[in-house]
Amino acid sequence: MNGTIRDNIKQGVRVRVVQKQDQRSGKLTEGVVQRILTNASSHPHGIKVMLESGIVGRVKEVL
């Protein structure tokens, strides 16, 4: 599923995100969504979320 549309992402869903420091390399981090931080209905670079581990990043894949 597409990580750029907010309706695709819910609390408790497993996702892969790219963290700010990993944007150049494209390294993805997998985790479960704790909070959705982007208020807009969509974002071209991915919806920003906080994972249960405390990591903040933009969603690239919804698993």
Cβ atoms of residues 1 and 43 within 8 Å: no
Give the residue from 54, 19, 43, 53 showing the smallest Cα distance to 9: 43
Token pair 């920003």 in the structure block, residue: 48
- How does pLDDT run along the chain (63 residues), one tens digit per residue? 889 999 999 999 999 999 999 999 999 999 999 999 999 999 999 999 999 999 999 999 999
Q: Is 14 left (phi over 0), alpha (psi -120 to 50) or beta?
A: beta
Cβ atoms of residues 47 and 5 within 8 Å: yes
Domain segments of the chain as ranges = 6-62
Predicted local confidence at residue 18, as pLDDT: 97
The number of beta carbons lying within 10 Å of the beta carbon of residue 32 is 14
For the domain bounded by 6-62, which CATH number is listed? Answer: 2.30.30
Predicted local confidence at residue 1, as pLDDT: 83
